Amino acid sequence: MDFFILAALVLCSLTAPALGDKGSSKARGCSDIHRFYSGKGLKQDAAAPEFEISGEHLQICPQGYTCCTSKMEDNLAMISRTEIEGLLKETRRPLQSSLSYSQNTFNGYMDNLMNRSMTTLHDHFTSTWDLLYSRNSQLFRDLYKDLRDYYQGGNVNLEEALNEFWTKLLEKIFYQANKQNSIGEDYQECVSKKIETLRLFGEAPHKMTIQVTRTFVAARAFLQGLTMTREVVGKVLQVPLSQKCIGAIMRMTYCQHCRGMPSAKPCVNYCSNVMKGCLANQADLHTEWSHLADTMIEVGERRLDDVDSVILSLPNQISEAMFSMIDNLATINSKLFQGCGSLGEGGAPSSGFGDIASRRRVIVDDRLGGSANKMSESVSNINMKLREMRSYWISLPKVLCSDRVASGTGAEDKCWNGMNRARYLPEVIGDGLASQINNPEVEVDITKPDMKIRQQIMPLKIMTHRLKNALNGKDMDFQDTSDDVSGSGSGMCADDTCSRGPRLIAPVTERAMVYPDPPKNKEVRSSASQSLPSISIFLLSLLILLLQR
């Protein structure tokens, strides 16, 4: 008799969860899921049950008693994909907007500084240099055009452009000073060659070339960095999520409705594991992404702190160099006459310039008062945003889980863990593809990284390298070649920057590396037992047979 009592108790313990959360002996109705399902804009399934049914037909949700049919499960999975893609779009929009605003702000200040500098040069040179400037104003406009084109990414050799400007300017001053003499083509060619070898402007051209090159190389690289980061965000977050990921998100978001627990929100750690599995490839951008952000910040702090003074001082530096040449015109003429021959009698230094020397003064741009620090303020604000975005890819799962998980007192014990309303037991896994081998929620093949995302790693490396060269005033163009970590057919680094960060593609060895299969038994997620109707029926039949004996 004790045996029959024991068997009855076992049967009751197995079937208890199937009778509802409150222990009711009646099967729960499905009106809640019907209202919820219709509220999502879905057409009610004709086969939708009025009361809970056995869930062996379900492919994503737990196969306990359920109010969802296979078609309802498929439709909710489709809704899950649409919603998570929309959420990712909303998540990337603030970052892209911030980067676009930073890019436009920085570009606007650079454009404003260039316009102010050119206007200042025109105003002061018109009154100071008179005919020499008015007849050769195109030479100065070409200089500013070359600077602007280079900054905006044009194919301009900055050093050559500056050297050409000084050479042509020296020729113009020499011809103006000796305008009373006839200068033939052969003599002009000789003068041009000598000018290239003689530092007739003193140290001014060398000093200005160093300042301008350092500033414009850094500004160009900084602008390109802002442009690239915005493009990478857009490309990466447009990559579709895997079907396994969508199933995991649907299980986390909607399966509790099928189980009659509409108010249950996902456990915090449960959501983290789902999202880390879904965004594992994106997280592998973190190493190069953070390196790029750090290097941009360094460029902003070390090389863009005096952009205003460098650009706005161009008119004064050019004018001082020209006055220096006039002051030493006799010596300059002597050197040129010695190399190219005399032009004849005359050629006095004052013959071509009149009283220009008396109009010599320091050129200061004072039209906008104390706005000289606007660029440094802008760069500081941009750097602050760069610091905020450096951990963007590894913080994305937390951002996506922030407003959808259970919170408050007792939330850890009453949240949805993917199987029931109970504590979530597994630990939170790490970031990146390599960590997903033990993800209990999303099946991820760590040997097959997403190549569309991997292809964004090489541009990040190249941009970081370009910025590091900009710190030294160097502008280096990179020629794309094959690289085994890029996943695409381009990219070669000139130093060891390509070797940083974890390699996520399994290394090639003599024998293929075999990874253990991800755990298939997900039952450990719940502390509550799950009812299996087929087992209950079997035990009930066994008990009846025993009683008949």
Would you state the pLDDT for residue 203?
A: 77
Segment 62-74, tens digit of pLDDT: 998 999 999 999 9
Q: Give the integer Cα–Cα distance in Å for 449 and 430.
A: 16
- Give Cβ neighbours of residue 78 (< 8 Å, ≥ 6 apart): none
pLDDT at 545 over 60: no
Instruction: Please check the confidence at residue 7 and state whether its pLDDT lies above 50.
Output: no
Closest CA to 295 of 495, 430, 55, 79: 495
Question: What's residue 8's pLDDT?
Answer: 45
Give me the residues paired with residue 421 across strands: 416
pLDDT-above-70 percentage for the chain: 75
pLDDT at 366: 53
Mean pLDDT within 500-525? 37
**Confidence class of residue 310 from pLDDT cuts 50, 70 and 90?**
very high
pLDDT given at position 538: 45
For 86, residues 6+ apart whose C-beta sits below 8 A from its C-beta are none
- Going by C-alpha positions, the residue among 278, 282, 250, 277 that lies closest to residue 439 is 277
Whole-number Å distance between alpha carbons of 200 and 205: 10
For residues 455-484, average pLDDT: 78
**Which range has the worst mean pLDDT, 181-185, 285-289, 483-487?**
483-487
Question: Distance (Å, rounded) from C-alpha 29 to C-alpha 50?
Answer: 6
pLDDT of residue 500: 36
Quote the distance between the C-alpha of residue 347 and its chain's center: 61
pLDDT of residue 48: 85
Q: Give 416's strand partners.
A: 266, 421
Which is more confidently placed, 436 or 375?
A: 436
Query: pLDDT over 90 for what percent of the chain?
Result: 53
Lowest-pLDDT range, 292-296, 426-430, 482-486?
Answer: 482-486
Closest CA to 293 of 438, 539, 98, 120: 98
| pLDDT interval class at 341 (50, 70, 90) | confident
What is the mean pLDDT of the segment spanning 165-184? 79
* Residues 286 and 454 sit within 8 Å (Cβ to Cβ): no
For tokens 């879905």, what's the residue?
42
Query: Does residue 540 register a pLDDT over 60?
Result: no
pLDDT band at 394 (very low <50, low <70, confident <90, very high): very high
Give the pLDDT band (50/70/90) at residue 459.
Answer: very high
Give the model's pLDDT for residue 487: 36
**pLDDT confidence of residue 4:** 45
Q: How confident is the model at residue 123, as a pLDDT?
A: 93
HEC letters along 154-168: CCCCHHHHHHHHHHH
- Provide mean pLDDT across the span 24-36: 77
What six digits make up the tokens of 225?
A: 């960095």
Angle between the 70-128 and 243-253 helix axes, to the nearest 10 degrees?
110
Question: CA-CA distance, 104 to 240, in Å (whole number)?
Answer: 30
Q: What average pLDDT does the structure give for the chain?
A: 80
The one-letter amino acid at 101: Y
Rounded CA separation 221/346 (Å): 51
Task: Say which residues have a Cβ less than 8 Å from residue 148's Cβ, sequence separation at least 6.
Answer: 111, 114
Instruction: Please count the residues of the chain.
Output: 549
Q: Which residues have C-beta within 8 Å of that of residue 201, sequence separation ≥ 6? A: 166, 170, 321, 322, 324, 325
Nearest Cα to Cα of residue 314 among 353, 364, 366, 359 = 364
- Tell me: the pLDDT tens digits for 421-447? 999 999 999 999 999 999 999 999 999
Q: Comparing 176 with 271, which gets the higher pLDDT?
A: 271
Residues 96, 233 contacting (CB under 8 angstroms): yes
Q: What band does 496 get if pLDDT is binned at 50, 70 and 90?
A: very low
- What's the pLDDT tens digit per position in 254-263? 999 999 999 9
pTM given for the model: 0.77
- Residue given tokens 């300059």 in the structure block: 332
Q: Which of 447, 452, 425, 423 is nearest to 437 (CA)?
A: 447
> φ, ψ for residue 53 (rounded to 5)?
-125, 170
Helix (H) or strand (E) holding 289: helix 286-303
pLDDT for 401? 95
Angle at 231 between CA 227 and CA 234, to 5 degrees: 145
pLDDT value of position 26: 57
Q: DSSP secondary-structure letter at 98?
A: H
The helix (run of H) or strand (run of E) holding residue 79 is: helix 70-128
Question: Which of the listed ranges 136-145, 472-481, 537-546 does the model predict with the highest average pLDDT?
Answer: 136-145
First to last CA, the chain: 12
Per-residue pLDDT, 192: 76
Q: Write the CA distances from 144 to 213, 301, 517, integer angstroms.
A: 13, 25, 63
- For residue 541, what is the enclosing H or E element? helix 533-548
Q: What is the pLDDT of residue 485?
A: 33
Q: How far apart are CA 109 and CA 171, in angstroms?
A: 34
pLDDT band at 180 (very low <50, low <70, confident <90, very high): low
Q: Side-chain half-sphere of 245: how many Cα atoms within 13 Å? A: 22
Residues with Cβ within 8 Å of residue 171, at least 6 apart in sequence? 188, 191, 192, 195
Per-residue pLDDT, 13: 41
pLDDT band at 236 (very low <50, low <70, confident <90, very high): very high
Buried residues in 105-114 as b, exposed as e (16+ CB within 10 A):
bbbebbebbb
